[in-house]
Copies of this chain bind each other. A is one copy, B any other.
Amino acid sequence: MSKEKSKKILEEFGDNLVKQIKKGKNPEIEMTLRNLSNIIFDTKQRILKLGDKTQNRSFFNVAHAKKFLQTIDVASVIKKELLGSGKHSSLRDVFYMVKRTIPGTNVNLVDDQMESDKAIEDLEVITSLSREQLHVAANKNGSVAGKVVIEDKGDTIDWARMGSGGWSIPSITEEIIFKKVNAKYVLYMEKAAVFERLNEDKFWEKNNCIIISSQGQATRGIRRLLQRLYEEHNLPIYVLCDGDIYGAYIYSVIKYGSIALAHASGRLTIPGVKYVGITMDDVIKYDLKKHFIKLNDNDYARIKQVSEYDWFKDNKEWLRQFKMMKDFNAKVEIQSLTSKGISFISEKYLPEKIKNKEFLD
């Protein structure tokens, strides 16, 4: 979708408000309700999404007036400053662009970034445009390598010729053009150090795959990149995380979405993604028990919470993993595989698990 299309949608949104005003009506915006009461887990699509409840926001309503103005002003700044110039900016930048005093008052339109962030989310829901299509970026993080050639901002970039670093993934991966994709699957990992190990071993070359890492949670840029490789190039996506509840959650966000971004699930989730490791079964099979790290109270609380999420509570395989974590009173890191040899992960563990299709769903 081009920025002209996004601009047009925002213009229609504005035109509609102007029409209401000209008719002498109290201008009103209708949008899908975004709070917890309207976030559902769609068991058929298997993604988190918003339900059918809607809300109205009108200008002549003391409880709505400021939010109404914030939404309009953010829409105007995005249309003029971002889509108008073709430039992109961060959530923080948008905050500074709309942080101004309302003429004739001492009141700032926004005082806290939370307010402009919420207005941007409103706009996503109202217009069905993604934050990326509105030219607003989340944080940038992560690296990629593999036999893929892309075109981005007029540059041709070969992910197979990036040395020890890889290509630095931008916050917005919407506009990348894939020129050549030569890979059987994509391996995403939560740790940059593991990426460096696999990249040094040319794992992507030997196994004909693409490797992608973040540091912790996958950014929106990474999630959209994974989704595009999955949807546009039919590549299976495998996720490699620490064998703990946080790894399981990182996986689940890529697969099902997150509560905070439920309205954007369709544009970010990948229901077909698989979890390759580390599992509690790996610990036994590869003799990693001596590298167990004891669980603390936070781990136990988080295991309980995650087990009860709609998207985990009927998943027997994962519930079995969580039970094993508790029975062992332990979690284990990806890097414990190094105890078997520096390249055990790239020469044995991953090729073996992927060949045997030992995945969690």
Contacts and interface: CB of A to CB of B under 8 A. Distances in A.
A196 interface: yes
Nearest to A98: B339
A85 B154 CA distance: 39
A182 B97 CA distance: 34
A102 interface: no
A237 interface: no
A99 B192 contact: no
A222 to B, nearest CB: 11
Interface stretch (A39-47, A123-131, A160-168, A244-252): A160-168
Given A93-B197, A215-B141, A338-B96, A165 B161 contact: no
Most B CB within 10 A of own CB, among A82, A150, A153, A164: A164
Given A140-B193, A167-B165, A342 B152 contact: no
A200 B154 CA distance: 12
The majority secondary structure among interface residues of chain A is: mixed
Classify chain A: how many residues form its interface, as a range. 35 or more
A215 B139 contact: yes
Contact of A85 (B337, B339, B342): B342
A343 interface: yes
A169 B164 CA distance: 8
A331 to B, nearest CB: 14
Interface in A142-184: 142-144, 150-157, 161-172, 175-176
A195 B141 CA distance: 12
Contacts of A101: 290
Contacts of A201: 87
A106 to B, nearest CB: 12
Contacts of A197: 89-90, 93
Nearest to A192: B140
A164 B172 contact: yes
Contacts of A339: 96-97, 99-100
A170 B165 contact: yes
Given A155-B161, A155-B163, A92 B168 contact: no
Contacts of A193: 90, 92-93, 137, 139-140, 171
A198 to B, nearest CB: 12
A66 B136 CA distance: 54
A88 interface: yes
Contacts of A336: 96
A335 interface: yes
Given A193-B140, A338-B93, A162 B171 contact: no
9 contacts: A87-B343, A97-B339, A100-B339, A101-B290, A152-B164, A152-B165, A154-B163, A156-B161, A157-B165
Top-9 shortest CB links A-B: A152-B163, A168-B168, A143-B168, A90-B193, A164-B170, A155-B161, A140-B192, A96-B338, A165-B168
Interface of A: 81-82, 85, 87-90, 92-93, 96-97, 99-101, 137, 139-144, 150-157, 161-172, 175-176, 192-193, 195-197, 200-201, 215, 290-291, 333, 335-339, 342-343
